[in-house]
Amino acid sequence: MKRYILFFVLIILIAFPAFAQIDSTLLRRTEKDTSRIQMNMDAVYNRPFLTMGKLPVSVGGYVEANWQHLGTDGISEGHQFQMRRLTLFVASSIYKRIKFLTEIEFEDGTKEINIEFASVDMEFHPLLNLRGGIVMNPIGAFNQNHDGPKWEFIDRPVSATQMLPATWSNVGFGLYGKLYRGRWVYAYEAYLTNGFDDQIIRNVENKTFLPASKENPDRFEESFNGVPLITAKTAIRNRNVGELGLSYMGGVYNKFQEDGLKLDQKRRVHVFAVDFNSTLPFTKTWLNGEIAWVNVDVPETYSQQFGERQVGGFIDLVQPVLRKPIFGFEKSVINFAFRTEYVDWNKGTFRETGTSIQDDFVSIVPGISWRPTSQTVIRLNYRYNWQTDILGNQPSKTAGFQVGFSSYF
Amino acid sequence: MKARNVFGLALLAIVTIEACENFEPAAPKGHELLDGPVDGLSESENIRFLRGDVAFNDEIFTADAGLGPLFVANSCGSCHPGDGKGHPFTTLTRFGQTDETGNQYHHMGGPQLQNRAIPGFTPEQLPQGVGYSKLTPPANTGLGFIDAVSDADILAWADPDDLNGDGISGVPNLVSMKEYLFARPNTVEANGKYVGRFGKKGAAYDLHQQTAQAYNEDIGITSTYEPFDTHSRLAIDPEVSDQTILDVVFYLKTLKAPVPRNTSQPDILAGKEVFTQIGCAKCHRPEMKTGTSSIAALSNKTFYPYTDLLLHDMGPALDDGYTEGTAKTFEWKTPALWGLGLSKYSQGGGYFLMHDGRARSIEEAILLHGGEGQISNDKYKELTENEKLELIRFLESL
């Protein structure tokens, strides 16, 4: 971790003197490509970048910070100010149809520093592109399209970030491509990468928890068990209707052998996800949702705290209600937003009683946002969560206000 | 934007920040919860209580932290959700002892069956034909008060030969003292044995023993107090610190007693009368007093647990063929009834009562009383429907 911090400090030290010598009129924003229909899989490159003159390198990033005051069953930690994310992008056109992009993220200050994406893309044909390096596994849509300034909500969806492990990236290679037919685009992605480890059922969350594998510091260096994780997605988009994506991710998560000795049988994890988004034609209401199913082969003799099946998802509605200059920002938009989300962390029945295992999470988040420009959002959310334990006792309730901003820079 | 709009936004922000707590979920009322400290703890005691609270309710053991490899549960809180009674999901199975000569199955994993294992390991199986009991985890509340009752009081309630002829002949369970324990002031020793008061058979001398054994036998965590790994049966390095165990013991000692509810309602008052009238109070003693305690908040207090901490013959239906200490297989320690009405809120919305959770309602539990409890059982059956209802409402108010 320290080497990343040193690397970052070095970049900053080099960049500041260099920047001071640059004529700022040479800096320009890269225009977004609006000539073609954009999909979730394009999100990684479809960002506002800053380029300098004719240098083939673009830089960018975004920042997120907020205040919140949440309480759980009458107990509150009071006023909290949080620097959730600082993310830096660097992209480069290496040669014709060969490009590179990296995304480095600092979460909660410097508590977590991650290379979320660092890949070289080579285009042989629009239907056949090779991507290699640290890639974001295309499971669901949020993992691909998660930049803070794009969302009207301060918290990321629980189903996408805690049941699914967004942001989830691994070292590997794969292919992707798109086919345009009139108003339709068909797309696919398929990757082989390093995968999960047994922390998904060996963690202090006390439940099957795919993001626990992100704690493995060696995962960018070696596979936990030598079996690649397969991730594949196909998506279809109509310019007038919206986008629908179907994705799968699966592989062996446990260390079943070491030094030629058998330790356990191969145990697999399977994840299926469906995502969609659309803008309703008359009201311009933005609808976005994702639902996913997780199946994990948990040893029968292990604790039932760790579920074999999970299901969860979220739906967001964003309704623009005012478009007019505010405080001199000519393209201001005020939105009303509403999110509802659900996760069943443990679908199944107790062996002892035959009754349902609970461990359910439900949340509603109404909010209002102001976008002075499309790249900056100021958000006010009120969230209310219900969480039951595995026995189905009365849920603990968490609620409160959050105010924050997120902006590309 | 006009100045008044700016002013309005600023005002909205101030109101939001100032009033935000009003939009957060209210705390449940104190009498609806089993957890929370006793009144009157000092600041330093509050700090110890919170340390124990975190260790008990928040610490999840993984294989990296020493879980198992054989275990029943992976945290204290999973057996005692909200410090209440547990669910059959974490019911313990103990086996291998039929009389006071001790457990004959230590070599086969006795006295407790670890029915779960981390991946790659195989859980224990019950030996063929062995006597065993299933034990539903009890509530933790008010344990410090029970711990502070003097041995002399408990022995005074015993009536092994039923000299008063009421059909009730409670006896204490006399147990060996673990070498790491310190006897309470004025503890009573009888032929090297001491009065046990915790556990379904009353086989644990104090909360220190109960806690160290639970870490070891329930979670598979060794300590300097209980150093033997439940899988290899060999002494290994401690996997939890003495400090953590002592913090948990302090937490358990200083959990508040359950607060009775609706105590002045006429039907509940009538039910209380019925409770005494049909003889329940002979074993489920309403009132006790603590002696002096190193925790001032527990010293010389009167409290209402509804138990006598003694063993009673509960009849053949509840004789599982397993015991501990000097208890007979058909004898069970009178369980405290305080907090009974809140039990279902920690057991998933329904009751799992009696030692193994077999009773799914309070009435079913009453009707399972045999042996010394048979007289009260018979008298219960003779009550009118209204009297039965009043009795159950009273029990639910505890």
A197, A393, A398, A402: best to mutate for the B interface, most B CBs within 10 A: A393
The residue with tokens 């975004």 is A62
Across the interface, whether the CB atoms of B24 and A76 are under 8 A apart is answered yes
Search chain A and give the residue with CA nearest B356.
A352
Across the interface, whether the CB atoms of B87 and A391 are under 8 A apart is answered yes
What's the CATH number where A67 sits?
2.40.160.10
The tens digit of pLDDT for each residue in A362-397 reads 999 999 999 999 999 999 999 999 999 999 999 999
In a domain, B6, yes or no: no
Domain count across chain A: 1
Domain count across chain B: 1
Contacts of A202 (CB under 8 A, 6+ apart): A212, B62, B63, B64, B118
The tens digit of pLDDT for each residue in A223-251 reads 999 999 999 999 999 999 999 999 999 99
* Sequence letter at residue A58: S
Note down the domain range covering B197: 40-397
Which helix (H) or strand (E) segment holds residue B18: the answer is helix B3-19
Across the interface, whether the CB atoms of A301 and B122 are under 8 A apart is answered yes
**Is B161 within 8 Å of chain A by CB?**
no
pLDDT of residue B29 exceeding 60:
yes
Residues of A in contact with B21 (CB under 8 A): 69, 71, 76
Please report, rounded to a whole number, the percentage of residues in chain B having pLDDT higher than 70.
99
CA distances from residue A400 to A57, A70, A154, A403, B13 in whole angstroms, order as listed: 42, 4, 12, 10, 14
Shortest alpha-carbon distance between residue A155 and chain B (Å): 17
Across the interface, whether the CB atoms of A76 and B21 are under 8 A apart is answered yes
* Sequence letter at residue B221: I
**Is B3 within 8 Å of chain A by CB?**
no
A79, A80, A301: best to mutate for the B interface, most B CBs within 10 A: A301
In a domain, B389, yes or no: yes
CA distances from residue A358 to A355, A389, B77 in whole angstroms, order as listed: 9, 6, 16
Could you give the ipTM of this predicted complex? 0.91
Residues of A in contact with B91 (CB under 8 A): 352
Contact A248, A137 (CB under 8 A): no
Region of A61 on the Ramachandran plot (φ > 0 left; ψ -120 to 50 alpha; else beta): left
pLDDT of residue A14 exceeding 90:
no
For B269, half-sphere exposure in the C-beta direction (CA atoms, 13 angstrom radius) is: 4
Across the interface, whether the CB atoms of A69 and B20 are under 8 A apart is answered yes
Q: Among B25, B62, B71, select the one facing A397 at the smallest CB separation.
A: B25
Contacts of B3 (CB under 8 A, 6+ apart): none
The residue with tokens 């060969």 is A98
Note down the domain range covering A269: 2-408
| B58 DSSP assignment | I
What is the pLDDT at residue A3?
A: 53
Residues of B in contact with A264 (CB under 8 A): 119-120
CA B66 to chain centre: 25
Q: For residue B150, report the phi and psi dihedrals to the nearest 5 degrees.
A: -75, 150
In a domain, B51, yes or no: yes
- Coarse DSSP helix, strand, coil percentages of chain B, rounded to the nearest 5 percent: 40, 10, 50
Cα gap B247→B242, rounded to integer Å: 9
What is the pLDDT at residue A56?
A: 84
In a domain, B179, yes or no: yes
pLDDT mean over A323-346:
96
Cα gap B137→A72, rounded to integer Å: 26
Cα gap B393→A70, rounded to integer Å: 37
Position B395 confidence tier, pLDDT thresholds 50, 70, 90: very high
CA distances from residue A277 to A46, A244, A245, A334 in whole angstroms, order as listed: 17, 7, 9, 20
**Is B28 within 8 Å of chain A by CB?**
yes
Cα gap A395→B194, rounded to integer Å: 42
Q: Among A76, A264, A304, select the one facing B120 at the smallest CB separation.
A: A264
Across the interface, whether the CB atoms of B88 and A353 are under 8 A apart is answered yes
In a domain, B2, yes or no: no
Position A104 confidence tier, pLDDT thresholds 50, 70, 90: very high
**Is B103 within 8 Å of chain A by CB?**
no
CA A109 to chain centre: 18
| Helices H / strands E in chain A, number of each | 2, 21
Across the interface, whether the CB atoms of A352 and B91 are under 8 A apart is answered yes
In a domain, B100, yes or no: yes
Query: B244-257: string of b/e by CB count within 10 Å (b at 16+)?
Result: bbbbbbbbbbbbbb
Which helix (H) or strand (E) segment holds residue B394: the answer is helix B385-397
Contacts of A185 (CB under 8 A, 6+ apart): A36, A37, A39, A178, A179, A236, A237
Which helix (H) or strand (E) segment holds residue A275: the answer is strand A268-279
